[in-house]
């Protein structure tokens, strides 16, 4: 049986596989990040003294499956986001480099990442909203408000209208700077590494190079842009009445100081660093496999 040539979709397939793999492996860390970011001290929420304490309390009441609340929209969102992101990013970057002269590869990378990230946010914001709300259904609540992803979307539309699915959209668009910083620095580091090795652009290099580049780029992007994640989580939380970016920002700073904008940053790096490495390593290796289908069809 002939294998169809899939090289036109190598970025889409690689990103899709990377998003699914990283989410399945790292979702419990994501759940903890969301809960710590949302916790403004409300006594109605369970109060955790540490990440280990949170894991113990969740497992004691709901079992290990409690650590995987919200995994369905998370898998769908990650697969769609990373698949489209890599496909559109590489297409747009090539177009910008062909048609315009920005004077800097890093600038081209950043512009491409920002534009593509904003476009994808228009598609995926409802998915991320449901993930956040499902993750914030606590073990100390007598009954769960949502039974799953579809039920969460249905209730959100019924109670808040269609645009309720786009709560946190503005911060999400602002947050595309996260992906732009990450992909720009990742691409730049790989380009410089290939240049140092005397290899053509887009040629495959060692797994260690991919690992180092993904780790550094993710840590940089997460730490620099983390406040948007806190604000977005709080705006999407169904347990509070947060409204608007400015109001949520002021409330956070007044009650918790500027450090409140980085609440959950440690667990975010713990969670997102291995997830980023898994995403990019999976993406690069799946892309390599897809290229093997060239001229096979």
**Most confident segment among 8-12, 106-110, 152-156, 181-185:** 152-156
Of the pLDDT bands very low, low, confident and very high (cuts 50, 70, 90), residue 14 is very high
Res 297: pLDDT: 53
Place of tokens 């890599």: 86
Domain boundaries, the chain: 7-291
Q: Other C-beta atoms within 10 Å of 252: how many?
A: 21
Q: How far is CA 139 from CA 11, 14, 130, 176, 213, in A?
A: 39, 36, 18, 32, 38
Q: How far is CA 297 from CA 3, 11, 285, in A?
A: 5, 19, 21
Res 242: pLDDT: 65
Decide if 234 contacts 171 (C-beta within 8 A): no
Across 178-188, average pLDDT: 89
CA pseudo-torsion sign 254, 259, 262, 263: negative
Whether residue 153 has pLDDT greater than 90: yes
- Record the pTM: 0.77
d(C-alpha 107, C-alpha 133), whole Å: 35
For the chain, give the percent of residues with pLDDT over 90.
40
Whether residue 254 has pLDDT greater than 90: no
Decide if 221 contacts 182 (C-beta within 8 A): yes
The number of C-alpha atoms within 13 Å of 80 and in the hemisphere containing its C-beta is 16
CATH no. of 7-291? 1.50.40.10
Nearest alpha carbon to residue 54 among 269, 261, 267:
267
Instruction: Indicate the average pLDDT of the chain.
Output: 86
The number of C-alpha atoms within 13 Å of 38 and in the hemisphere containing its C-beta is 28
For residue 154 the two structure tokens come to: 């249905």
- 212-252 confidence digits (pLDDT tens): 999 999 999 988 888 877 887 787 777 776 667 788 888 88
């Amino acid at each position: 049986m002939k294998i169809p040539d899939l090289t036109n979709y190598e970025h889409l397939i690689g990103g899709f596989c990377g998003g699914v793999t990283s989410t399945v492996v790292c979702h419990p860390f994501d759940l903890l990040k969301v809960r710590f970011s949302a916790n403004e001290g409300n006594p109605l929420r369970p109060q955790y003294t540490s990440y280990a304490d949170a894991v113990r309390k969740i497992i004691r009441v709901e079992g290990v499956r409690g650590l995987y609340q919200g995994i369905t929209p998370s898998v769908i969102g990650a697969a769609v986001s990373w698949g489209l992101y890599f496909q559109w990013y590489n297409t747009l970057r090539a177009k910008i480099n062909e048609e315009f002269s920005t004077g800097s590869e890093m600038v081209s990378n950043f512009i491409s990442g920002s534009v593509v990230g904003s476009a994808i946010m228009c598609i995926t914001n409802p998915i991320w909203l449901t993930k956040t709300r499902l993750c914030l259904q606590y073990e100390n609540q007598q009954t769960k408000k949502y039974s799953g992803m579809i039920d969460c979307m249905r209730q959100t539309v019924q109670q808040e209208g269609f645009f309720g699915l786009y709560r946190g959209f503005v911060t999400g668009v602002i947050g595309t700077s996260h992906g732009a910083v990450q992909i720009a620095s990742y691409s730049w580091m790989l380009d410089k590494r290939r240049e140092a090795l005397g290899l053509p652009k887009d040629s495959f290099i060692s797994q260690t190079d991919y690992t180092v580049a993904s780790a550094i780029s993710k840590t940089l992007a997460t730490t620099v842009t983390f406040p948007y994640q806190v604000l977005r989580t709080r705006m999407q939380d169904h347990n509070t009445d947060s409204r608007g970016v400015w109001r949520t920002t002021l409330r956070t700073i007044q009650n918790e100081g500027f450090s409140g904008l980085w609440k959950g940053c440690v667990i975010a790096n713990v969670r997102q660093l291995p997830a980023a490495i898994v995403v990019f390593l999976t993406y690069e290796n799946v892309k390599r496999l897809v290229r093997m289908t060239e001229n096979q069809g």
